[in-house]
Structures are given as C-alpha cells and as structure tokens.
C-alpha cells in the first residue's frame, strides 16, 4: 500500500511537472485546459472580512507575472463569492471554495471560474479534500466548543451523503494510503478515517491544538500543534502561562506517534506546516518567521529560513504555500481586514523575489 | 394591528417664527446666532409634514448632502458629514448632547421625526458651539413649540408595503401660562421584500426574512410660564427599537437582533432679567442596548447626567454674549468592559456675536473641555457674514469661518475588552470654510442659493482595525484631510392657487488620510471608504388648492468599500414621490397621503452586500384637530 502511494505520488509529480513544462515552454493551448485562468495558475484565497461577504479569489500567472483579482465576481457578475473564504482546493477541472460563514462550498470551473454549483448545508466548514472523482471530504466545526464532523460529499451531485463525527473543531485534513487524517484543532487528537468505509478507525493523541498536517516522502505524517495559550490583560499571549507548541511525527502504517519536537518558547505557535517539492523537508511559520526542518533531523532547527526582523508586521505569513514547480515560497500578508493584502514571493534560498497586491487577508494558495 | 399610541405633536413647530426667541430675533434662528459665517440648514417644513413617520436617517438621506450608511432595511444607520465618520457628528436634543457615551454616536434609525419640532443641520466643525464630537457637523433637534391656544389633537395611521404599519397620536394644550404636549407612536415593519440574493448560486429572487423592526416611543413637553419672566420646562423622550439585523448577502443567517431602549428626560429653567437670559438645563439619559446572535450576547447599559447653565446678554441689535458651563457624568455598566466605568466631563464656553453694521455679522466662540486623563485643546470659532452687494432685489453675502473641534475617545474605544485602547489620543480638528450666499426676491418669486468650499484637517482620527491578535482595536490615524464644495439652491413662487418650490443640492467631498504614524500600514491619499465623491439632491414640492405634491431625487456616486479603493459599490439614484390631499372633516382636517419610495425600483446598497428594499408604497391618513 505504502509503496503504491509512493509510486503514485512520484508519477503524479512527474506528470504535473511535465505538464507545467509543456505549457510554459511551447504555450500550446490546444494540449492543455483552456480558459482565462488555465495557464501557469497560482490561485490565492482571500478570506475577506467577517460578515461583509467580500471574500475573493486572485489569479497569478507565474509565467507572465499578471495578477487578476476578484476573478469569481468578474466571471459571475453580479454574484458574490460569499463570506469568509477559509480555503480553496482544486480537483480535476473544478475549484472548491470553502465559505466558512456562508455555510457552503462554492464550486467553479477552475479554468474559467464560472460557477457550477454549491455544496450547501455545511456548518462552519473549514477545509476540503477530494479522494477521487466521486468523493470528497469537508471538515465542519459545527460549533465552537463541541465535536465537529466530516461531511462526505458526492462530487457528481454536490450533496452531502454522510457525516462522520470527529473531535473538537476539525481543521485541516490530508488523505494518505486510503486513510483520511483530520486535525482536531480544538482538542488534542488526529482522527483517522478509513476512506473505504467512511468510519473513524482510530484517533491519535498529539499535543493540544493540532493546526496543520502534512505527509512527507516517507509517508510520515507531520503535525504542528499550538498547545494551550493564556492571555495577558492586554490580550497578548502570555509567555509565562502558556504551554509550548510541538511538531509530531506519525507512522501512517501503525498510526502511532514516533517522535515529538517540543518548542522552548511558550507564547509562539508553529503553524502552516507544509513540505517542499521533494517532500524531504517540512516548513512552517513560527513567531512570524519561517523555519525549515529536514525530515531526518533529530532536533528542531533553531535557525530561521526566512527572518524579516522583529519589526516585520505580524500576520505577514497569514497564508503560506510552496510552489512545487520551482520551490518558491508564497506568503500571504494581511495587514488588516479593511485593506487588501499582499503576496510576497521568496526563492529557494529564502530571499524576497517580488510581491503583488491581492484581496483582503490572503490565507492560502493552490498551484497548478 | 396598529393601535397603540402614536406620535407627533401638531404642526405648530413648522412655523419657525414662533420659535425664535424675541431677544435674538434680529440675529435669525437660534441655531445661527453664534454661527455667523457657517452653514446651517433646516429640514423643510413641508417635508416634515409629509414624512412624519420617517426616521431621522431617511430625512437626512433625502434632504441633505449627508451620506447615510445603513446596514440593510432594518439596520443601524450612521451619518457622515463632509466625509467624516458617525462619531464626528454631535446630536443635540434641545441643546443637550445625546450621543451614546459608549459609541460616541447615535443610530439615526432609532431617532424618529415623530415628536420632533424642528431639525437643523450645522455643517462643518463646530466644537466651540456644540462641544465633543462636533468635528464634521451637528444635528440639532428641537421639541415642537405650540402655535395656538386651547386643545389640539391628532391621530395618524399608515399602512405600507412589506408589512409596515405605523400609528401615531398626539395631544396638546396651551393657555397663557401652560403649554403641554404629548405624543406616542408605534410601528412594525416586516421588511419581507424580495431581492436578488447575490450570495447564492444563480442569484435567485429571495424573500428577506431577517429584517423585522418594531418601534415605539413617546415624547412629552411641558412648559410653565410661572412668572412673566420665568419658565420651567420638562421634556421626556423615550424610544424603543427591537429589530432583526439583516445579514450581508452570502453571509450565514446568524439570527442577530438588537434591542435599544433610550430614555431622555430634561428639566429646563429660564429667566429673563436685567443681565439677560439665564437658562439652566438638567438632563438624565439612560441608554440600553442588547445585542444577541448565535454566538454573542452583549449588554450596554449607561446612565448619563448632564447639567448645562448659560447666561446670555444681548445689547440692542449690535452684540450678544453667552457664557456657559456643561457638566456630564457617565455611569456605564457594559459587559464588554468587565465592570462599571464612570467618567466626568466638563466644558466651559464663551460665545460672542457682534454686528458692527447691519450688513456685517461676526462671531467669536471659544470652548475648553476638561476630561480626566486627557488634555483637549481649546476649540475656537471665528466667523463672519457680510452682505457686500445689494443691487435691486439681489443680495449677495460673503461668509466664512475658521473653527476648531475635538473628540475625546469614547468609552468603547478605551475600555472594551479585548481591543479597547486606553492610550488612544483625542481627535483634534481644524476647518476653514468660505462661501457666497445669494438671495433674490421679487413679487412672489424667491430665490436663495448658497455656495461653500471647505477644507478640514483632523489629527488622530480614530479608526477601528482588526489587530494582529484577531480582535478589533481603535487606532489613531495621524492626519485625515477632507475638502469639498457644497452648493444648494431653492426657488419658490406663488401663481394664483399654485405654490411650487424646487430645491437643488450638490456636494463634492474628498476625504483622505494624508499622513500616517511610522510603522502603520496606511493607505495614504485614498478616498476613505463609504464617502461618495458626489451627492446630488433634487426636491420639489407643490401645493394647489387642497392638494400637495412632493418629489425627492437623490444620487450618490460610487463608494469604496476598502481602504485601498480596489472595490466599490456603484452609484445609485433614488426617487420618491408623494401626493396628498386635505379634506375638511368635522372639527378638523383629514390629510391623505400616498407615497411611493424607490419609484424606479433601483437595486442599490449603502453598506456592502446589504440588500435594500425595492419600490414600495405607503398610504397615510392623518386627522388633525387644530
């Protein structure tokens, strides 16, 4: 099983890279998908401000450097995307926009961004992952404090066929080896769901507040946890009273934690965990800096990979992604919720390449 | 359905000549005495007569250059003068500031026209005159003055589209010594209009189901002339508003509701003697606000005590001097503050009007506020109006003023947890304006025009921003500049039994942040959100025998919805028409009015993604025993 997924991922990566090369080198539109947003696309999800319904999607052409903002509204005028775009996922020719405070997932053609439907009836939906052409999963918080659930979605009818109860505030999710791993950010577990039966198989105890998770080239599942935080009178996070965050490594064959790296400082939290293109390094945001960790390393890397200094504005890594085609790091910078944010690009050495303006509070990227 | 009691004491108030105090008659209306050279306008009496059931928000939107931001059909409505924000507007009720101390502003959707005699609008900074918050302007509300002696009464019933019912009743009595008036109103609106839901796939026609409003209230005024030169007055004003708050299209229905209960009581003593007029006003206000939605439950309960004493001395027709003192005490019990907060404020003011020549009016005002922990600068005003051309029936005035203003941060801005910022600096504004006024009167034709240019700078402008920790916090913007032009004209004539009138208004407003503190990610030299560059109003009214006709047209240009001006709402035009007829009916008059609002069925928004009602109709029956 493990070997099969590994081979498949290699195959997929190669196919994607070849596709990207084909597109960028000869620009043969006939061979690739067509549409305004089909080529060299980086899609940026812009959260928007809560209750204003001004979430948006931006398109960046990494070949020409052209930026197009608000592409959903442009293509579907006068419709608006909705309130609080938590995340975007792309599967085949469709983009799935998880609209947290619209209680739905908006579905659009990823090449033209024409709306094709919506998956409604979701309670505080967060993230989306497709298993295959028939089935996908959406995490739903349902409430702020109680157990959340996973919606099983039929991708042909865009309806929820089943829900699976998991832990408190199910957040990010990843599919690997026939299993769906769900980080319950409000608790201290990773729920493991069998994608054949859509039933919870087990749950893995990790440090409190798992916020992101990723699978490396050895099929090891990495989990970043924030841990418990206490606040000072001025609502900053207390160094004294908080608990330090951690990175955990999980063997996906046995579903057991094989190692935990605890951070030394209490107030900051590791977040936005992701892998590089080769999947032999994990990267994450910590204390408004980016750190890179070799998957074989036995201690936490104390040297930041990207360090913009102590005065660099907070929330400058509100969104974080790595372009698998060239290893560039994309950071979504969100100064506030009343002005548009920025995307800052860094190269493989961690140096700034360029930046461009997108929508309000950019929080994630899809590279095609 | 709609009985209950209802509002509006009579139409006596429409006759402003009654309401001018004798001693200051030479200087014009009371609101203008110490405001030489500034722009003061009054809401038209024919408009107030036709739109008695409207809120102050609707009236100002329709008849002034002010921009009203309304969160949907049922929502909170805030006003913007000359590009400033809602907390930059002072609202005075019979001379006392009634801004909620927590928010530093008033929700104009909760202030009914019912029971209000006169509405005057002072454009531009008037900190010296109206104190805290009068940075962009002031709205002055006066209780009605009684016209005749004896008993008068009025009942009113209104039915409108989208499940709207409004009832109102008023009684008044007046003799040589005593004037009493009381009114009450009751209103319910379902606001279940249909709109294109832009937040759903295919933008289907949808019925609004979260915009129900219920309002009721009473006003009471009593004035007792207990001695030839002395009077006592007691006034009360209670408003109750319970409403569902309409969500933005595309946002989840969060069952938001708000209950507002505002009680305002005041006692006034007036005495005229050798040394002029003495006025002492004592106010007791309670403001209760309860907001709930699926995940919030917030209560604000504030009591305000206010005392204002003034002494005015007028020397013939050449000068008038007023000295006064204002004291305020707030006791706030607000869940968000985590405990009771109290505050005392004081201000001393000196207002001087001098007319060295019948053609020249000068005013010089000064105010100094005192607030513990703050050091507000003194706010002066220097204004002049000069009638410099008089050719035939044409009179031309040159006018202008320079004025200062200030605003101490509100209680929410300082104490709300999380986010409140006790270190917030007070706002300080400066404004200069100048203009021309032209009047022409010949036979039955009267023309009046006013053209004003203004330039305003506000330091430490407070803006709520979502912080890095994920909650909202107020920050000082270093410097905001607002500049613009305002033009208004009115023409009236009489031709036999036909009495037409036409008013035109235009405002150009450019408001931008021009300097930012270091380390803040500011958007410099961009128009502030929700400030239209252009606003046009056209109003017409005509009377013929027992018929009356009113028309209102407003245009607001594009308004940006974010700080960097990348997204906006398109401009829109709204048309309202009203036709009325008066009948003799027993001891009184029956007024029937049919109104149509948003006649052209315009799809528009004043707050981003909040659907507004399409074309709607209202039938109003009003029976008045004069």
Q: What is the DSSP string of A81-98?
A: --S-EEEEEEETTEEEEE
Examine the pLDDT at A12 and tell me if it is beyond 70.
no
Output B20 or A225, whichever has higher pLDDT.
A225
CA distance A84 to chain B (A): 8
Q: How many CA atoms lie within 13 A of A320 on its CB side?
A: 22
Would you call B250 and A53 a contact, using CB atoms and an 8 Å cutoff? Answer: yes
Among chain A residues, CA nearest to B467: A336
pLDDT at residue A32, rounded to an integer: 62
- Whole-angstrom Cα distance, residue B556 to residue B505? 12
Which of A136-150, A173-187, B29-43, B100-114 is predicted least confidently? B29-43
Examine the pLDDT at B136 and tell me if it is beyond 80.
yes
Cis preceding-peptide flag for A165 (omega within 30 of 0): no
CA distance B608 to chain A (A): 6
Portion of chain A with pLDDT greater than 90, in percent:
84
Would you call B247 and A360 a contact, using CB atoms and an 8 Å cutoff? Answer: no
Examine the pLDDT at A234 and tell me if it is beyond 90.
no
Residue A170: strand, helix, or coil = strand
CA distance B200 to chain A (A): 7
B511 close to B531: Cβ distance less than 8 angstroms: yes
| B335 φ, ψ (degrees, to nearest 5) | -55, -40
pLDDT at residue A228, rounded to an integer: 95
Which of A71-85, A310-324, B279-293 is predicted least confidently? A310-324
- pTM, two decimal places: 0.88
Q: What is the mean pLDDT of residues B583-609?
A: 94
Would you call A337 and B466 a contact, using CB atoms and an 8 Å cutoff? Answer: yes
Would you call B466 and A70 a contact, using CB atoms and an 8 Å cutoff? Answer: no
Residue (of A361, A355, A337, A71) closest to B563 by Cα position: A337
Would you call A235 and B417 a contact, using CB atoms and an 8 Å cutoff? Answer: yes
Tokens of B37: 């050279």
Examine the pLDDT at B181 and tell me if it is beyond 80.
yes
Contacting residues for B466 by C-beta, under 8 A, at least 6 apart: A49, A336, A337, A338, B472, B473
Report chain B residues whose CB lies below 8 A from the CB of A211: none
**Strand residues in B443-526 grouped as ranges (E):** 445-466, 472-492, 498-515
Give the number of A-B residue pairs with CB atoms closer than 8 Å. Answer: 99
Would you call A54 and B609 a contact, using CB atoms and an 8 Å cutoff? Answer: yes
Mean pLDDT rounded to a whole number for chain B = 90
- Whole-angstrom Cα distance, residue B459 to residue B479? 5
A267 close to A238: Cβ distance less than 8 angstroms: yes
Query: According to DSSP H, which parts of A42-178 are helical?
Result: 71-75
pLDDT at residue A217, rounded to an integer: 96
Would you call A80 and B201 a contact, using CB atoms and an 8 Å cutoff? Answer: no
Portion of chain B with pLDDT greater than 70, in percent:
94
pLDDT at residue B240, rounded to an integer: 97
Would you call A235 and B418 a contact, using CB atoms and an 8 Å cutoff? Answer: yes
Q: How confident is the model at residue A1 (pLDDT cuts 50, 70, 90)?
A: very low
Q: Which residue numbers of B have CB closer than 8 Å to A's CBs?
A: 196, 198-203, 247-252, 254, 295, 417-419, 465-469, 471, 519, 521, 523, 529, 561-564, 566-567, 608-609
E strand or H helix at A21: helix A2-26
CA distance B198 to chain A (A): 4
CA distance A293 to chain B (A): 26
Contacting residues for A169 by C-beta, under 8 A, at least 6 apart: A141, A144, A148, A184, A185, A186, A187
Would you call A338 and B201 a contact, using CB atoms and an 8 Å cutoff? Answer: no
- Whole-angstrom Cα distance, residue B164 to residue B184? 17
- Whole-angstrom Cα distance, residue B555 to residue B62? 10
Nearest to B201 among A49, A118, A336 (CB): A118
Instruction: Identify from B201, B415, B461, B463 which residue to disrupt to test chain A contact, counting A C-beta atoms within 10 A and taking the largest count.
Output: B201
A126-150 core/surface letters (b: 16 or more CB in 10 A; e: else): bbbbbbeeebbbbbbbbeeeebbbb
CA distance A303 to chain B (A): 24
Q: What is the mean pLDDT of residues A316-334?
A: 95
Distances (CA, A) of A295 to A212, A217, A272, A298, A315: 16, 9, 16, 8, 26
Q: How confident is the model at residue B65 (pLDDT cuts 50, 70, 90)?
A: confident
Examine the pLDDT at B236 and tell me if it is beyond 70.
yes
Report chain B residues whose CB lies below 8 A from the CB of A231: 418
- Tell me which DSSP letter residue B57 carries: H
Examine the pLDDT at B182 and tell me if it is beyond 70.
yes
Nearest to B471 among A49, A54, A235 (CB): A235
**N residues, chain A:** 368
Would you call B608 and A115 a contact, using CB atoms and an 8 Å cutoff? Answer: no
- Whole-angstrom Cα distance, residue B569 to residue B563? 13
- Whole-angstrom Cα distance, residue B482 to residue B206? 39
Would you call A52 and B519 a contact, using CB atoms and an 8 Å cutoff? Answer: no
Report chain A residues whose CB lies below 8 A from the CB of B337: none
Report chain B residues whose CB lies below 8 A from the CB of A102: 199, 250-252
Task: Provide DSSP, B196-209.
Answer: E-TTSTT--EEE--
Output A328 or B44, whichever has higher pLDDT.
A328
- Whole-angstrom Cα distance, residue A351 to residue B459? 38
ipTM: 0.86
Mean pLDDT rounded to a whole number for chain A = 91
Q: How many CB atoms lie within 10 A of CB B22?
A: 9
Q: How confident is the model at residue A270 (pLDDT cuts 50, 70, 90)?
A: very high
pLDDT at residue A184, rounded to an integer: 98
């Amino acid at each position: 099983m493990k070997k099969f997924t590994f081979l498949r991922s290699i195959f997929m990566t190669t196919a994607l890279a070849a596709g990207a090369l084909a597109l960028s080198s000869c620009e043969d539109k006939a061979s690739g998908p067509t549409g305004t947003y089909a080529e060299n696309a980086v899609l940026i999800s812009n959260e928007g401000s809560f209750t204003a319904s001004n979430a948006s999607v931006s398109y960046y052409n990494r070949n020409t450097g052209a930026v197009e903002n608000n592409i959903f509204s442009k293509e579907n005028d006068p419709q608006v995307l909705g309130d609080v775009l938590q995340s975007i996922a792309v599967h085949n020719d469709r983009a799935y926009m998880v609209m947290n405070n619209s209680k739905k997932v908006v579905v659009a053609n990823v090449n033209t961004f024409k709306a094709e439907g919506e998956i409604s009836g979701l309670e505080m939906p967060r993230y989306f992952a497709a298993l295959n052409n028939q089935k996908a999963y959406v995490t739903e918080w349902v409430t702020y404090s109680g157990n959340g659930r996973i919606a099983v979605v039929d991708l042909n009818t865009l309806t929820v066929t089943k829900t699976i109860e998991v832990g408190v505030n199910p957040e990010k999710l990843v599919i690997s080896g026939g299993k769906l791993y769900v980080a319950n950010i409000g608790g201290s577990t990773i729920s493991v769901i069998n994608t054949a039966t859509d039933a919870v198989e087990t749950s893995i105890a990790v440090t409190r507040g798992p916020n992101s998770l990723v699978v490396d080239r050895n099929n090891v599942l990495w989990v970043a946890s924030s841990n418990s935080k206490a606040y000072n009178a001025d609502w900053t996070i207390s160094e004294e009273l908080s608990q330090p965050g951690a990175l955990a490594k999980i063997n996906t064959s046995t579903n057991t934690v094989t190692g935990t790296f605890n951070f030394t400082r209490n107030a900051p939290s590791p977040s936005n965990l992701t892998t590089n293109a080769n999947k032999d390094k994990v990267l994450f945001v910590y204390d408004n800096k980016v750190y890179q960790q070799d998957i074989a390393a036995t201690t936490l890397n104390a040297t930041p990979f990207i360090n913009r200094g102590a005065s660099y504005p907070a929330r400058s890594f509100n969104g974080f992604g790595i372009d698998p085609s060239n290893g560039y790091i994309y950071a979504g910078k969100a100064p506030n919720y009343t002005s548009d944010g920025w995307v800052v690009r860094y190269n493989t050495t961690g140096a700034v390449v360029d930046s461009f303006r997108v929508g309000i509070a950019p929080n994630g990227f899809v590279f095609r | 359905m709609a009985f209950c009691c209802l509002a509006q004491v009579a139409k006596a108030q429409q006759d402003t000549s009654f309401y001018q105090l004798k001693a200051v008659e030479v200087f014009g209306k009371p609101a203008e005495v110490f405001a030489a050279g500034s722009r003061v306008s009054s809401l038209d009496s024919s408009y107030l007569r036709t739109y008695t059931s409207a809120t102050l928000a609707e009236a100002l939107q329709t008849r002034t250059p002010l921009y009203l931001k309304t969160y949907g059909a049922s929502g909170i409505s805030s006003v913007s003068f000359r590009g400033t924000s809602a907390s930059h507007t002072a609202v005075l009720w019979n001379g006392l500031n009634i801004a909620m101390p927590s928010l530093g502003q008033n929700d104009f959707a909760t202030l009914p026209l019912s029971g209000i005699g006169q509405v005057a609008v002072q454009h531009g900074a008037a900190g010296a005159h109206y104190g805290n918050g009068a940075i962009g302007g002031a709205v002055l509300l006066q209780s009605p003055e009684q016209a005749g002696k004896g008993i008068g009464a009025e009942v009113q019933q209104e039915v409108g589209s989208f499940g709207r019912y409004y009832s109102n009743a008023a009684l008044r009595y007046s003799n040589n010594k005593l004037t009493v008036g009381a009114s009450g109103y009751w209103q319910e609106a379902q606001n279940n209009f249909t709109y294109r839901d832009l937040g759903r796939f295919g933008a289907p026609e949808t019925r609004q189901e979260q915009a129900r409003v219920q309002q009721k209230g009473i006003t009471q005024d009593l004035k007792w002339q207990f001695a030839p030169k002395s009077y006592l007055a007691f006034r009360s004003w209670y408003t109750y508003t319970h409403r569902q708050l309409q969500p933005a299209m595309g946002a989840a229905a969060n069952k938001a509701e708000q209950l507002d209960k505002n009680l305002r009581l005041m006692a006034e003593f007036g005495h005229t003697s050798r040394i002029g007029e003495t006025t002492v006003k004592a106010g007791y206000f309670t403001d209760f606000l309860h907001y709930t939605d699926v995940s919030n439950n917030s209560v604000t309960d504030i009591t305000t005590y206010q005392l204002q004493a003034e002494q005015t001395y007028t020397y013939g027709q050449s000068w008038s001097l007023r000295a006064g003192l204002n004291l305020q005490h707030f006791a706030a019990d607000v869940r968000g503050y985590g405990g009771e907060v109290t505050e005392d404020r004081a201000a001393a003011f000196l207002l001087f009007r001098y007319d060295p020549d019948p053609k020249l009016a000068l005013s010089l005002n000064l105010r100094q506020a005192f607030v513990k922990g703050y050091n507000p600068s003194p706010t002066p005003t220097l204004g002049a109006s000069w009638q410099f051309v008089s050719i035939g029936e044409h009179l031309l005035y040159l006018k202008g003023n320079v004025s200062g203003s200030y605003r101490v941060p509100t209680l929410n801005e300082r104490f709300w947890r999380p986010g409140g910022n006790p270190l917030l600096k007070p706002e300080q504004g400066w404004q200069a304006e100048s203009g021309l006024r032209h009047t022409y009167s010949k036979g039955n034709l009267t023309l009046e025009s006013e053209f004003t240019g203004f330039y305003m700078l506000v330091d430490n402008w407070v803006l709520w921003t979502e912080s890095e920790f994920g909650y909202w916090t107020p920050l000082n913007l270093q410097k905001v500049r607002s500049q613009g032009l305002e033009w208004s004209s009115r023409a009236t004539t009489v031709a036999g039994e036909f009495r037409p009138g036409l008013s035109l208004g235009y405002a150009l407003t450019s408001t931008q942040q021009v300097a930012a503190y270091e380390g803040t990610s500011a958007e410099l030299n961009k128009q502030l959100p929700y400030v239209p560059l252009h606003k046009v109003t056209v109003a017409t009214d005509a009377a013929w025998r027992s018929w009356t006709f009113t028309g209102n047209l407003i245009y607001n240009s594009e308004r940006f919805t974010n700080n960097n001006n990348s997204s906006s709402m398109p401009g829109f035009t709204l048309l309202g028409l009203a036709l009325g007829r008066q009948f003799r009916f027993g001891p009184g008059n029956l007024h029937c009015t049919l109104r149509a609002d948003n006649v052209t069925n315009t799809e528009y928004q004043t707050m981003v993604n909040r659907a507004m009602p399409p074309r709607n109709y209202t039938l109003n029956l009003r029976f008045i025993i004069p």
